Amino acid sequence: MTRVFSGIQPTGIPHLGNYLGAIRNWVALQDDHECIFCLVDLHAITVWQNPTELREQTRQQAAVLLASGIDPVKHILFNQSAVSAHTRLGWIFNCVARLGWLNRMTQFKDKAGKDRENHSAGLYVYPNLMAADILAYKATRVPVGDDQRQHIELANDIAKKFNHDYEVEFFPEIEAFVPPQAARVMSLRDGAKKMSKSDASAQSRIDMTDDADTIALKIRRAKTDPEPLPSSPEGLAERPEARNLVGLYAALADQTPEQVLQQHGGEGFGPFKKALTDVLVARIEPIAQETARLLGDVPHIDAILRDGGQRAATIADPIVTEAERLVGFLK
Ligand code: TYM
């Protein structure tokens, strides 16, 4: 069975972009894959986190994943720092990856901006740890949003170089599994910016714990333009905000943008936003309610993560021990 690995940072509340770009596809892959899902707390601290909040957000993130349909019994859900294989292989990959490769990573450039000198070394080598996350399990399919494609390409470069340098066929090739719809959900306030946990404006995103009134308000306030909706997707080319809202509706209603516009073309944003709010609330409200229920039993969440960590280690430890042996460490 194909092994799937994916991760999400336990910083802030997961938003609609995380859900449509990743979590929803994680849930679907569980039917016919062996899945390992990880709350990447080691990645989270590449930017300083308040320790109490990091613990709380790790649990909250776990609760949202469980409420969305992740099955921690048939599959594995755990937090990254619980399995030391990630950092052990991450160090080896720090020594395999080339500086030139890391210099090309657009996400580092976006996060560090002009103030590069003041960011952590961890943020810079972040993609090496991400490669280790996946390859510690020899997972081959990685469901992610569009923004992670470059990191998966780098992981493949690292795997190839490791195999080449040590003259082995040890690490497999990885495939990024990016959804056809909503792979890049944009901010509700600016159609040129990705929906992101780090955006200062809470109005820019829908959180997976928002209630119906909050969702309705955010969608009512979402930036649009004065024109009615076009009757086909070509008419959205120069209209990023309208394109984003149509894309959200399509992803949530399991339709193509063509089908959405056949139905809603010619409509103003008033009625379309109402229809979009309805599909959003129908999807998010049950997840938000179940998340709140799960968070009422923190020991249960902790037990799930602990069990997941132990099972994850059982898979990763022998693979990483073998990688260490190949490198020449005395065992
Ligand atoms: P993170 O925590 O930023 O995001 C988690 C997942 O959500 C997707 N995503 C989006 N998809 C569509 N539209 C958006 N606006 C949007 N924002 C986020 C991301 O593509 C991702 O799939 N580096 C990763 C975490 C990670 C990981 C891994 C992923 C660490 N190790 C190994 C896969 C495999 C990250 O920061 O995701």
- Average pLDDT along the chain, 331 residues, taken 10 residues at a time: 97 96 98 98 97 98 98 98 98 98 92 88 97 98 97 98 98 96 95 94 97 98 95 95 97 96 95 97 98 98 98 98 98 85
> CA of 184: how far to CAs of 78, 153, 187, 240, in Å?
26, 18, 10, 12
**Is there a single domain that holds both residue 314 and residue 275?**
no
Exposed e or buried b per residue across 271-289, where buried means at least 16 C-beta atoms within 10 angstroms of its C-beta: ebbebbbbbbbebbeebbe
| Separation of alpha carbons 263 and 228, rounded Å | 13
Flag whether the pTM goes above 0.90: yes
Q: Are residues 284 and 306 in the same domain?
A: no
Indicate which residue of 111, 138, 161, 223 is catalytic: 111
Answer yes or no: is 191 within a domain.
Answer: no
The verdict on 13 and 161 lying in the same domain is yes
pLDDT at residue 138 in the model: 98
Same domain, 57 and 153: yes
Would residue 194 show up in a list of annotated catalytic residues for this protein? yes
Residues 155 and 274 in one domain: no
| CATH number of the domain within which 36 lies | 3.40.50.620
**Does the beta carbon of 305 lie inside 6 Å of ligand 1?**
no
Distance 113 CA to ligand 1 centre (A): 19
Within-domain flag for 182:
no
ipTM metric: 0.99
Q: Which domain holds residue 84?
A: 3-177+298-327
Residues 307 and 287 occupy one common structural domain: no
C-alpha triplet 144, 149, 150: angle, nearest 5° = 145
Ligand 1 proximity of 16 Cβ (cutoff 6 Å): no
Burial of 3 (0-12, 13-18, 19+ CB in 10 A): middle
Instruction: Name the active-site residue from 74, 197, 218, 331.
Output: 197
- CATH code of the domain in which 261 resides: 1.10.240.10
pLDDT at 100: 96
* Residue minimizing CA distance to atom 16 of ligand 1: 17
CA distance 292 to 30: 23
Q: What is the pLDDT of residues 125-157, one digit of tens each?
A: 999 999 999 999 999 999 999 999 999 999 999
Shared domain for 153 and 56, answered yes or no, is yes
User: How many independent structural domains does the chain possess?
Assistant: 2
Residue nearest to atom 37 of ligand 1 (CA): 8
On whether residue 186 sits in a domain, the answer given is no
Give the model confidence (pLDDT) of 151-185 as tens digits: 999 999 999 999 999 999 999 999 999 998 899 99
